[in-house]
Structure 1
């Protein structure tokens, strides 16, 4: 299927691994030129080297938990190719502080809010103005199942992801008339470095194997996942690519679950 986005310029945050990396891969395969960004931890350049055979990709290290990082990203992205970006995908995120609500201090809350909510705010604020001017844009913000089905040990993360839902809906109303479509994808328990780390921690703490930790999580914490497995990053990336496409031109303000049925409610 031709998604009709060849030649577009996309910015993908959180792009050095996991769902961000796979999203960049899928967009490149559709002929999109990609600006990849993440924090500078040594993995970003390796990601670019893996993706380079698929198309035109550039990378810049930027920490979007602060305004300086957003400014660096915008300046680089606006100059990386012959046109400015009209696609933004915000896949960057952290689990953040976890545990009993009463044991999580303000710093724990603020870290989750800065990375999981405000980074998306800053990125959207940076790139939407040109999309409005161009009369065409796609913004895909990563939320989570936690936004509507919060787990009590991850409340800062859940609250920030609920904020992403409302941000996307508000932006879709504000800028839809200008041709800028804004949607949210909500993955659940995807096989990524983040959930790998969670499962390894559980494995160590409980004295069980990694696979047993995954199965225990599925049985006890994610009973709604009917496939009884973790999702794949490419399954999320495929949905993101569709939401960027011409075929999704009547989809905006949507909260699209890619969760294997994890969320137990209909809406």
Structure 2
């Protein structure tokens, strides 16, 4: 893929403190970075904004808002929007939340999520921030995200203007779904692909599964076909590589960043 579209998600090399990550991005010519709220807050939002701005790095996304089925979601998500605006990114990724406590009703959880996004979207739009609903693999439906397919994400997003609410296309979460290619085309035609993320699926998954995203080219996903599919849908923006992987996190972060960039170029 075109190196000008490469963005490294901060979680891929979470062992690197933010100043080191920025310095290595500059050294390697990495143009974009996807940031996470927790390490940004630890460093200081304004300080982080100045750091990436001075390095002329594009903040492609901020992760994450969402968890709309928990108490206190509104205050936290308004803060997430404000942080995204301060960092200069136009995209806040939403991990929408799982079942409310004591519930087994997934459709009702999605209805709560849609209602919450309806409250948040105008606030975000006024600040130049788009909400990007990320569907997660169904194994996360109970506790992390009741939105499991791209179709489900679009059913919510399409209630709002495309410049306010769209979707994330993440290969790790969507590669299994035979309906996803049609949904990608549908999202692209409406201008609702707000982020495209790459990760591979390795077998067997590690215990706990959350940290099992494989380095590009090491697993079961035809990443080249996915890249072509999203490009055909009209998406020409940054492409983030987001890997949760314990074996990568214990290695030298700069080495992992360089390896990831090379793997990206091979897709």
What TM-score results when the alignment is normalised by the length of structure 2? Answer: 0.38
> Relative to total residues, which structure has the larger helix share, 1 or 2?
1
Q: TM-score, normalised by structure 1?
A: 0.38
